[in-house]
Amino acid sequence: MRRSTRGPMSGAARAALALLVVAVAAPVEAQNLLVPMNRGQTNHLRAYGLTYWVLEQGETAEWLLNYEGGAFLLPDQEPIRREATLRGVRFDAIGAADVARIRGIIAEGNMEAVPLEKAPRIAVYTPPNSTPWDDAVTMVLEYSGIPYDKIWDEEVATGGLEEYDWLHLHHEDFTGQYSKFYLTYAGAGWLQEEVARNQEVASRLGFSDVPALKKAVAESIRTYVMEGGFLFAMCSAPETLELALAAGPVDIAAPYSDGTPVDPRANERLDWARTLAFEAAQLQTSPSVNAFSDIDGHQVNTPWRKELGVYTLFDFSAKFDPVPAMLTQNHESVLPDFYGLTTSFAISRLKPGTIVLAQEAGWAKYVHGNLGEGTFTYFGGHDPEDPEHQIGDPSTDLSLHPSSPGYRLILNNVLFPAAKKQKLKT
């Protein structure tokens, strides 16, 4: 495991940003710092990092759901002011009378104040040689200054998830088909390296092949959620994780390179009782079609792919549905869609009880649910600020998107485990 300790910016950059910060001078009686998250915020993404940093220092905070875009209320302390200034985050220093007024507004409206108590321990499931720019979550964790560990199959298969509160999955193919990249990239060095690395790990851990390894990893992740973990997955991970769980002993992975199709009768033997969010999906059994199943509504790499539109965040009651309200906090409600190997989720394939947080046309974009003592959230697509990201494209520079509403949805999930546990409707 490698702990990422990279700060939010270099010393020179921090000093430069300090000159640009927009902050209200503190009155003598100031007791709190209000970090607004409406359109007036100068850096929404680093505001989450600031709040996480406050929790790391042993302090508490409050998340003011539906107030000024999901504002944060922090203690008024000089180190926190200094950190906010260095991160370029706007804050307002407010006194007891202002806090009382805000609490009155929250009490009367569709708002809620949620205490944040402890910084969650974060793990990202990613190969050991990957860079932080391989997926949107590691990019935004690095940019916002939130530390995380990288873990991979060996740690997951041997109980290493117990150390973490929050786990992220991105573009892994848990069916063992390497995302069918062999259709286009059969001779690519990076793909050959990926195959060799996975085969070596499978052999070393005693599995017959890579699909068997990935199924075991998927089961470990399911157990992690059942026992109270918070799972957040994007791109191909939600769909392939669920297919691997449904498959059990059934072989749903065509051989890597010989073009043999998956047995169509495999659909009849899938066990959807094992899955988290989806049911009754149909496998794409042809190895020549670059899709996993009919869970993905957009079918991005097929001749029948759907064009991108916009997706809309649903409005939830902060008092009665605080969990989905936390996950949808934003300063925008209609966002441009973006492709991934799995871009969206067919509503007809969602299990009853799975909550749709955002929707585009007839597809769900962003869903959430419970399993045992834990929760899962699935977000379709690869990069919220790169609609058609291709292999080899340059990474997204988040300094150009400090208020990205799509990346805010990711960071809502990062802070979600910090919320004080209480009896919730959902």
Q: pLDDT tens digits for 149-176?
A: 999 999 998 899 999 999 999 888 999 8
Which of 116, 150, 185 marks a domain boundary?
A: 116
CA–CA gap between residue 241 and residue 250 (Å, rounded): 14
Shared domain check, 133 and 21: no
Shared domain check, 324 and 182: yes
| Planar angle of CA 15, 32, 24, nearest 5 degrees | 50
Most confident of 127-136, 255-264, 392-401: 392-401
| Planar angle of CA 85, 91, 92, nearest 5 degrees | 130
Q: 304 pLDDT exceeds 80?
A: yes
One-letter amino acid identity for 332? Answer: E
CB half-sphere exposure, 98, CA atoms < 13 A: 13
* Amino acid 24: pLDDT: 41
Q: Is residue 2 assigned to a domain?
A: no
Shared domain check, 151 and 260: yes
Q: 232 pLDDT exceeds 50?
A: yes
Shared domain check, 135 and 80: no
Shared domain check, 135 and 14: no
Q: Is residue 257 assigned to a domain?
A: yes
Percent of the chain with pLDDT over 90: 70
Instruction: State the total domains in the chain.
Output: 2
Q: Report helix angle 44-56 to 136-144, nearest 10.
A: 70
Shared domain check, 98 and 235: no
Q: 259 pLDDT exceeds 70?
A: no
Structure tokens at 125: 């499931």
Shared domain check, 253 and 180: yes
Quickly state the pLDDT bin for 9 (edges 50, 70, 90): low
Q: Is residue 423 assigned to a domain?
A: no
Q: 258 pLDDT exceeds 70?
A: no
Q: Is residue 425 assigned to a domain?
A: no
* Strands, E assignment, 184-326: 230-234, 310-313
Phi, psi of 221 (to 5 degrees): -70, -40
Q: Is residue 295 assigned to a domain?
A: yes
- The mean per-residue pLDDT over the stretch 267-284 comes to 95
Quickly state the pLDDT bin for 404 (edges 50, 70, 90): very high
Q: 23 pLDDT exceeds 50?
A: no
CA–CA gap between residue 56 and residue 120 (Å, rounded): 9
Q: In sequence order, what are the residues at sequence separation of 6 or more whose Cβ sits closer than 8 angstroms to the Cβ of residue 77?
A: 59
pTM above 0.85, yes or no: yes
Shared domain check, 131 and 80: no
Shared domain check, 297 and 337: yes
Q: Is residue 424 assigned to a domain?
A: no
Q: Are 41 and 22 in contact (CB under 8 A)?
A: no
Q: Are 253 and 262 in contact (CB under 8 A)?
A: yes
- The mean per-residue pLDDT over the stretch 346-367 comes to 96
Which of 116, 131, 160 marks a domain boundary?
A: 116
* CATH number of residue 271's parent domain: 3.40.50.880
Model confidence pLDDT, tens digit, residues 281-298: 999 888 788 888 999 999
Q: Is residue 1 assigned to a domain?
A: no
- The mean per-residue pLDDT over the stretch 228-252 comes to 94
Q: 93 pLDDT exceeds 90?
A: yes
Shared domain check, 15 and 126: no
Q: In sequence order, what are the residues at sequence separation of 6 or more whose Cβ sits closer than 8 angstroms to the Cβ of residue 359?
A: 311, 312, 314, 347, 365
Which of 59, 90, 116 marks a domain boundary?
A: 116
CA–CA gap between residue 343 and residue 383 (Å, rounded): 10
Handedness of CA 289, 291, 296, 302 (dihedral sign): negative
Q: Are 327 and 357 in contact (CB under 8 A)?
A: yes
* Amino acid 345: pLDDT: 97
Quickly state the pLDDT bin for 392 (edges 50, 70, 90): confident
Shared domain check, 365 and 275: yes
CA 77 and chain centroid, separation: 31
**Domain range for 69:** 7-116
Separation in Å, CA 416 to CA 52, 232, 337, 424: 11, 11, 23, 13
Shared domain check, 51 and 12: yes
* Mean pLDDT, the chain, integer: 89
Q: Is residue 426 assigned to a domain?
A: no
CA–CA gap between residue 366 and residue 268 (Å, rounded): 28
CA–CA gap between residue 211 and residue 214 (Å, rounded): 5
* Strands, E assignment, 181-297: 230-234
Model confidence pLDDT, tens digit, residues 187-209: 788 788 888 888 999 999 999 99
CA–CA gap between residue 145 and residue 102 (Å, rounded): 29
CB-based burial label for 196 (10 Å; 0-12, 13-18, 19+): exposed
Separation in Å, CA 73 to CA 91, 103, 417: 9, 11, 17
